[in-house]
Amino acid sequence: MRVLVVEDARPPADVIAEGLRDQAMAAHLARDGLEAATKLAVTAYDVVLLDRDLPSIHGDALCRMITERDERVMVLMLTAADSPGDRVSGLSLGADDYLAKPFHFPELVLRIRALARRRPAAQAPTLRVAGIELDTIRHAVTRDGKLLDLSVKEFALLEALLRTSPAYLSAEDLLERVWDEHADPFTNTVTVTIGRLRRKLGEPPVISTTPRVGYRIAGAAARDDASRPG
Same domain? For 42 and 138 the reply is no
Please identify, among 118, 146, 171, the residue that sits at the C-terminal boundary of a domain: 118
Amino acid at 227: S
DSSP 70: S
Same domain? For 134 and 107 the reply is no
Rounded distance between C-alpha atoms, residue 105 and residue 97, angstroms = 15
Q: What is the pLDDT of residue 121?
A: 58
Cβ contact 39:30 at 8 Å = yes
pLDDT digits (tens, 9 = 90+) for 167-217: 889 988 888 888 766 666 667 889 999 999 999 999 999 999 998 899 999
Same domain? For 149 and 113 the reply is no
Same domain? For 83 and 140 the reply is no
Decide: helix, strand or coil at residue 132: strand
**Looking at residues 142-160, what average pLDDT do you find?**
93
Q: What is the pLDDT of residue 136?
A: 84
CATH number of the domain that residue 222 is part of: 1.10.10.10
Rounded distance between C-alpha atoms, residue 195 and residue 217, angstroms = 14
Q: Above pLDDT 70, what percent of the chain? A: 86
Cβ contact 225:208 at 8 Å = yes
Same domain? For 61 and 112 the reply is yes
What is the extent of the structural domain holding 26?
2-118
Same domain? For 33 and 78 the reply is yes
Cβ contact 158:132 at 8 Å = yes
Same domain? For 79 and 139 the reply is no
Same domain? For 81 and 145 the reply is no
Q: What is the pLDDT of residue 87?
A: 67
* Nearest CA among 80, 39, 36 for reference residue 62: 36
Q: DSSP readout, 105-116?
A: HHHHHHHHHHHH
Q: Is 189 exposed, middle or buried (0-12, 13-18, 19+ CB in 10 A)?
A: middle
Q: How many domains does the chain have?
A: 2
pLDDT digits (tens, 9 = 90+) for 2-58: 899 999 988 899 999 999 998 888 899 999 999 999 999 888 899 999 998 898 999
Same domain? For 151 and 75 the reply is no
* Nearest CA among 116, 199, 212, 203 for reference residue 158: 199
Rounded distance between C-alpha atoms, residue 30 and residue 108, angstroms = 18
Cβ contact 201:227 at 8 Å = no
DSSP 192: H
Q: What is the pLDDT of residue 101?
A: 85
**Looking at residues 72-92, what average pLDDT do you find?**
76
Please identify, among 118, 135, 167, the residue that sits at the C-terminal boundary of a domain: 118
- Which H or E run contains 97? strand 97-100
Q: Which carries the bigger pLDDT value, residue 225 or residue 177?
A: 177
CATH number of the domain that residue 51 is part of: 3.40.50.2300
Asked whether the predicted pLDDT for residue 75 surpasses 70, the reply is yes
Please identify, among 118, 149, 175, the residue that sits at the C-terminal boundary of a domain: 118
